Amino acid sequence: MNKEQQWWWPLALDEELGGQPLAVTLLNQRLVLWRDAQGQAVLMSDQCPHRGARLSLGQVHGNAIECPYHGWRFDPQGACVSIPALPGFTPPAGHKACRHPVMEQHGLIWGAVGDAAFAPPALPELPERRLIYGPFDVATSAPRAVENFLDTAHFAYVHRGWLGEAGHPEVPHYEVTHTPDGRPVIEAYKAWQPRATASSTEGGWVTYRYEVLSPYSALLSKQPDDGGPQDSYTIWARPDTDESCRLWFAQYTSDATSTDEQLRDFQVTIFSQDQPVLESQAPKRLPLSGGEVHSAADRLSAAYRRYLQQTGVSFGVC
């Protein structure tokens, strides 16, 4: 079993999944999400056990998903409950769609395609106001996207006038520590930012905290030194293929004055600055075994790569 199969992965926003099936790609596999009659999410392989048609092209009827090809219906456990071509026939237990573990957490639906030994990442106590941005489909690997989220040396270039400025490209010394289970952390990173948050009216010092949460997710918290709103952001990356991913950013903020639209516009602007550079990186897989050079300013990225090596993930890396 690949190491990736031990993790839970974000698949879709809770609110994206309505009354009809939703096709998702995860780890090169086609999956389908739907909701049963109780509204619970169900995750299955997007392949009918009869002749392989995509169940996501079918429809949900009550407590079953109906295949678009011959109309076989499958209940939330995957059991075939109806074969319309044989009225009155009770399908045997072997006529089963392949079902996978699924749960809802942090405003997203999470799924697993293996033994899911590790739970979805836990979050510390964060401000209650939560907004989730995305999905963003990005033409690079999930770990490239997460490494970019952890990278501070690009602020003065990619986010000039926002999170950094030309006159201050320096990355002050910082220490990387690790959680007991080996995830990299920076407890305090100081940056001067022209426009640190949606409500900023002038530049100021900001203290960041970074924590890698799982192979393809991370949390950053930023607190302006002038006592402005505390913001925490998670990046949730769904590794669709080795070289493409879908991202969501969740913001947890104590900002009580900015509107949802102002907060969203700020984050969408920041990511629109990241995306072209991120998609330009070659190779799209994150090199773990050489091929790129580091500086002392890249300490957190280097720690993230070592952590990935330790977890043994093989998807999206090279």
Residues in contact with Fe ion, total (CB under 5 A)? 1
* CB-CB contact of 37 with 73 (8 Å): no
48 binds, among Fe ion, ligand FES, none (CB under 5 to 8 A by kind): ligand FES
Give residues with Cβ within 8 angstroms of 16, minimum separation 6. 22
61 binds, among ligand FES, Fe ion, none (CB under 5 to 8 A by kind): none
Q: Between 173 and 192, how does the x/- string for binding to ligand FES read (CB under 6 A)?
A: --------------------
Closest CA to 248 of 104, 136, 149: 136
Of 57 and 318, which CB lies nearer to ligand FES in the complex structure? 57
The three-class DSSP label of residue 4 is helix
CB of 78 to ligand FES, least distance (A): 13
> Measured between alpha carbons, how far is residue 51 from residues 72, 90, 199 in Å?
11, 19, 55
The interface with Fe ion within residues 223-242 (CB under 5 A) comprises: none
Of 48 and 300, which CB lies nearer to ligand FES in the complex structure? 48
274 binds, among ligand FES, Fe ion, none (CB under 5 to 8 A by kind): Fe ion
* CB-CB contact of 122 with 136 (8 Å): no
Q: What angle, rounded to 10 degrees, do the helices at 299-311 and 142-150 form?
A: 140
Q: Between 273 and 292, how does the x/- string for binding to Fe ion read (CB under 5 A)?
A: -x------------------
DSSP 254-271: ---SS-HHHHHHHHHHHH
CB of 63 to Fe ion, least distance (A): 44
The interface with ligand FES within residues 39-98 (CB under 6 A) comprises: 48, 50-51, 53, 67, 69-70, 72
Pairing state of beta strands 177-178 and 184-193?
antiparallel
Pairing state of beta strands 41-45 and 99-100?
antiparallel
Q: Which residue is nearest to Fe ion (CB)?
A: 274
Of 3 and 95, which CB lies nearer to ligand FES in the complex structure? 95
What residue ranges bind ligand FES (CB under 6 A)?
A: 48, 50-51, 53, 67, 69-70, 72
What residue ranges bind Fe ion (CB under 5 A)?
A: 274
